Structure 1
């Protein structure tokens, strides 16, 4: 994965008011930490940061005037829930050659046989890789798989230098038989009845004829 160089500025103002002023200038407040160093508070350029973080596990080369350049990975990205703009970034410092654990995407290719349903149980998997060689993701083929087929973490071919950091028997993809139209309609009717609180009618006992008890 290529490094993305970002020019940062030291930050000395803190608090909500300072953060709002930074964002109004189209910049992003951020903090760098890790490897036993004190947290370094910085400001990142908004547009460059947004472009860089479109890539999962983006490896950033943070350059701060008057300081040494630092390699970092995004640890946590806070976004505005409505606008989607980046509000704050936590960055963890890494070293060249260092092994890190990251989540990478699982991409499916191909098609299972007809009348099956492919369920992705985990869209990402946790792996360990060198900080400067984090794979973009892994590709899993489901071509021709029939109902009952399963793909576990141990079945996934990982790039050289990358190892699993989760249990090998973790279920990643599960192929099941697709429901028939009748099954879908029956489940929908049952769910509708439960939601409305309706119950099946109970038969009333027939009234005994007058005088029957005396017979």
Structure 2
């Protein structure tokens, strides 16, 4: 993964009021920590950081004065309604260092027509080199039949990556796709459990309207 360059500024104000003032200038308060050093409190340009963190495991090259730090995001706080970044904790890393990160699962291909693909885990923890974090792990479900499963041990891991979870962790489960009748039956069961009574009169009226003979008491559907 290529390094994403971001220029940082040293942060000297702290507290909620200071954080709000920082955000009003389209900047984000952040902390750089790791490698046995004291935490560095900085501000980062909000728009640049938002673009950089479109990938949750982005490798950031942070310039702070004359110093440069490689870092990966460890915790990002976002506004629950608007989604903008409120604060970021960034872990300083070095080339050659190995870290454990969650990498997303990307599905490709089509299972059998009567099969339903269920992604049980959308990401998997991997131990990787800090400067070579994969964007995702690609998994093919092409022509898989109902009853098939893909476990963590079945994943085609990128070079240099090692699983950091149990081999038996279920990633993809291929189940039988429900028929229309089964979906209807499940819906009726759910409504019954919720105490909702169905009114079948509308269905009966619709059926009678759709049947010309039922709509004409004489049984003659044609006009005289």
With the length of structure 2 as denominator, give the TM-score of the two structures. Answer: 0.85
By how many angstroms is 1:197 displaced? Answer: 7.1
Check if 1:32 corresponds to 2:32.
yes
1:135-150 matched pairs, under 5 angstroms: 135-150=134-149
Partner of 1:76: 75
Partner of 2:96: 97
1:190-205 matched pairs, under 5 angstroms: 190-196=189-195
Q: Deviations over 1:185-206 (max 9, x none)?
A: 11111111111177xxxxxxxx
- Give distance in 1, aligned partners of 2:153 and 2:118: 18
SS at match of 2:194: helix
Partner of 1:43: 43
1:92-131 matched pairs, under 5 angstroms: 92-131=91-130
By how many angstroms is 1:56 displaced? Answer: 2.2
- Give distance in 1, aligned partners of 2:121 and 2:45: 33
Partner of 2:156: 157
SS at match of 1:122: coil
By how many angstroms is 1:46 displaced? Answer: 1.0
By how many angstroms is 1:174 displaced? Answer: 0.6
Unaligned stretches of 5+ residues in structure 2: 198-224
Q: Deviations over 1:109-156 (max 9, x none)?
A: 111111111100111011011000011111111111011001111111
- Give distance in 2, aligned partners of 1:157 and 1:194: 43
Check if 1:10 corresponds to 2:7.
no
By how many angstroms is 1:167 displaced? Answer: 0.7
Partner of 2:56: 56
Q: Deviations over 1:15-68 (max 9, x none)?
A: 0110011001110000111122111100001111111111220111111115x2
- Give distance in 2, aligned partners of 1:65 and 1:59: 19
Partner of 1:202: none
SS at match of 1:132: coil
By how many angstroms is 1:160 displaced? Answer: 1.2
- Give distance in 2, aligned partners of 1:23 and 1:56: 21
SS at match of 1:144: coil
Partner of 2:213: none
- Give distance in 2, aligned partners of 1:182 and 1:170: 32
SS at match of 2:111: coil
SS at match of 1:196: coil
Q: What is the count of residue pairs matched by the alignment?
A: 197
- Give distance in 2, aligned partners of 1:25 and 1:183: 55
Question: Pairwise CA RMSD of aligned residues?
Answer: 1.1
SS at match of 1:84: coil
- Give distance in 2, aligned partners of 1:179 and 1:49: 43
